[in-house]
């Protein structure tokens, strides 16, 4: 690939991360150990929760799956989520044995429409999984009210929302569980990785047991110098634990999170200004709902734009700029259509977003000349 190609979602890996990984390798400690613990403590401090309320796992998908199981979701249950999310949100619900039920989104934030949630609640509904799209907070006041009225669990998909809050309270701390992603393109990365925040230490113990083969939680102490300990398998669990090699990267990523958030915020403002006159809908800025993590910069092309969304992506690629789609709406995928009989036309807002938006490169590691190229190329493709 051309060395000048601007990759979409390029992570920022500095010497601190590289040295920390090498340190783990030299110490011969690769798996779950002291660095995972350090990363969990650092994460808990950042989100203003206790160490006993967090568990590191190997992806946000794992975090969602285990949270649903720990919340007691079982086959036959229905779980409400948004039609505008990554497939992992819906797959986790399916893997928990439950039936996903979709709700359309709001046209400005692309977040689940709280007013439409209640219409979809039945006797079988047990949980709501809101997704804070691009890090813009969902209306957690409205969602928590609905949940408490109908006695539903809430599991927040915070894959985009690491730095976000709703009216001052960190996202992921409203629901019973909050699930975070450290995938390579997310605001901080561990390569692959995830984290769960739970309201109670008991819930975190359930998660930790499920994340490690269903072995009793003190089995985590097996990864220490204290000598051999017997463990009991208490249920058929999974293999979802985070490695020290991953935490080694995350520790230093988390140290820079606020500095990089400032860069994202500045780039957001700059793109907004540069594209204000284009035939596109720009992503909403922060409002009184709270702080955004500024995870993505999706532009929604109006019909009056010079090209379609797909043509835009091809042209941008040919000019050395990688872009992304977040996301095709969930019911457009054949598998879900066949499994649940969904029709994308029943979710018109998500459908339009899926057909007409493209996410521009939006990483704090972009250099000045790259930003100028992205702006100039985007303007040119959309106007000529």
Ligand X SMILES: *Cc1c(COP(=O)(O)O)cnc(C)c1O
Residue environment code for 29-60, b if the CB has 16+ CB neighbours within 10 A, otherwise e? beebbebbbebbebbbebbebeeebbbbbbbb
What's the chain's Rg over C-alpha atoms?
21
By CB under 6 A, residue 357 contacts ligand X: no
By CB under 6 A, residue 134 contacts ligand X: no
Our answer to whether residue 337 is catalytic in this structure is no
- The partner residues of 215 in beta bridges, in order of sequence, read 233
Whose Cβ is closer to ligand X: residue 359's or residue 377's?
Answer: 359
- Strands (DSSP E) found in the chain: 54-57, 78-82, 99-103, 125-129, 153-157, 165-166, 169-170, 177-181, 194-198, 280-281, 298-301, 357-359
Site residues (CB under 6 A) for ligand X, limited to 177-206:
181, 183, 194
Q: Min. distance of Cβ 15 from ligand X in angstroms?
A: 25
Cα–Cα nearest to 84, from 112, 64, 120, 65:
112
Among 113, 157, 163, 244, binds ligand X (CB under 6 A): 157
Q: How far apart are CA 232 and CA 374, in angstroms?
A: 55
Q: Min. distance of Cβ 319 from ligand X in angstroms?
A: 26
By CB under 6 A, residue 109 contacts ligand X: no
Whose Cβ is closer to ligand X: residue 53's or residue 187's?
Answer: 187
Q: Which part of the chain contacts ligand X (CB under 6 A), choosing from 36-44, 80-88, 350-358, 374-382?
A: 80-88
Q: Min. distance of Cβ 183 from ligand X in angstroms?
A: 4
Burial of 217 (0-12, 13-18, 19+ CB in 10 A): middle
Q: Which one from 186, 229, 315, 337 is the annotated catalytic residue?
A: 186
Whose Cβ is closer to ligand X: residue 93's or residue 313's?
Answer: 93
- The partner residues of 153 in beta bridges, in order of sequence, read 127
Among 60, 248, 278, 321, binds ligand X (CB under 6 A): 60
Chain positions contacting ligand X, by CB under 6 A: 59-61, 85-86, 88-89, 131, 157, 159-160, 181, 183, 194
Catalytic residue positions, numbered: 186
């Amino acid at each position: 690939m051309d060395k000048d190609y601007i990759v979409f979602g390029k992570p920022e890996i500095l010497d601190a991360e590289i040295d920390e990984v090498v340190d783990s390798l030299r110490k011969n400690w690769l798996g779950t150990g002291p660095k995972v613990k350090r990363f969990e403590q650092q994460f808990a401090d950042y989100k203003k929760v206790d160490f006993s309320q967090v568990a590191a796992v190997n992806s946000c998908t794992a975090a969602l799956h285990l949270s649903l199981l720990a919340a007691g979701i079982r086959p036959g249950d229905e779980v409400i989520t948004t039609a505008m999310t990554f497939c992992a949100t819906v797959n986790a619900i399916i893997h928990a044995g439950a039936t996903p039920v979709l709700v359309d989104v709001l046209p400005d934030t692309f977040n689940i429409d709280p007013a439409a949630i209640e219409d979809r609640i039945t006797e079988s509904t047990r949980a709501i999984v809101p997704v804070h799209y691009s890090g813009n907070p969902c209306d957690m006041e409205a969602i928590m009210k609905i949940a408490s009225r109908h006695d539903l669990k809430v599991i927040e998909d915070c894959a985009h929302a690491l730095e976000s809050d709703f009216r001052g309270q960190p996202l992921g701390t409203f629901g019973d569980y909050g699930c975070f992603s450290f995938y390579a393109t997310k605001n901080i990365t561990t390569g692959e990785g995830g984290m769960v925040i739970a309201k109670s230490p008991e819930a975190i113990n359930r998660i930790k047991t499920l994340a490690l083969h269903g072995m009793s939680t003190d089995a985590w102490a097996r990864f220490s110098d204290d000598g051999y300990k017997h463990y009991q398998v208490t249920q058929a669990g999974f293999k979802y634990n985070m490695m020290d090699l991953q935490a080694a990267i995350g520790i230093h990523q988390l140290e820079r999170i606020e500095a990089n958030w400032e860069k994202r915020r500045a780039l957001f403002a700059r793109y907004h200004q540069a594209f204000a006159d284009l035939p596109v809908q720009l992503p909403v800025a922060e409002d009184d709902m709270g702080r955004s993590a500024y995870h993505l910069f999706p532009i929604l092309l109006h019909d009056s734009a010079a090209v379609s969304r797909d043509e835009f992506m091809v042209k941008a690629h040919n000019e050395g700029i990688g872009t992304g789609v977040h996301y095709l709406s969930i019911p457009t995928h054949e598998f879900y259509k066949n499994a649940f009989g969904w029709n994308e036309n029943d979710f018109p807002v998500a459908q339009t977003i899926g057909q007409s938006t493209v996410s521009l490169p939006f990483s704090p590691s972009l250099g000045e000349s790259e930003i100028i190229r992205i702006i100039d190329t985007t303007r040119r493709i959309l106007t000529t």
